[in-house]
Structure 1
């Protein structure tokens, strides 16, 4: 799978609540760093998305996707939107993608 496609599938899986697919997209040592917390490990991240996420009635609106020259880093700019169509916040995600899947994600919000 193309790294850009893997990242797009990441957002689709979260928005659809397809946590098995989300888990399959992440490398075992996956780490997410975001302004309010860090998730170490694929299983911890998927558990949070499944059980502890404050809002599940959201959609990631991807506005731009870029890939660096070595094709291992995928940059995404977008917005998190409610089911009612209201924007919650903007984000920039920096995904590091390897052969085993998405290895890390750094999230910046605005």
Structure 2
């Protein structure tokens, strides 16, 4: 996914200039170490639940002040350094957009993505 193209497309949406004062982007990347004990990870296998991600995205987009929310989740075997998840939230003011992105990220990771670490 090209984040610059995604942002450019979002800016072309009708109503963007009237409703957006901030856009935040999360770019999740495969780490080379495990979160639980910092042991070396050679790859991960990721399985996103795209239907659940879409459900969460729609809920986030309904938050006060949020103009649009977007999600791009990759699946399969990935190496450290690979992009794995993009979330974009566009809205009116900082307080609304920051809170929405935090909820979006936390919910997607907890409810809609499973991963298996493969150790070196």
* Higher helix proportion: 2
Larger gyration radius, structure 1 or structure 2? 2
So what's the TM-score if we normalise by structure 1?
0.28
The two structures have a TM-score, normalised by structure 2, of 0.26
Q: Which structure shows the bigger proportion of residues in strand conformation?
A: 1
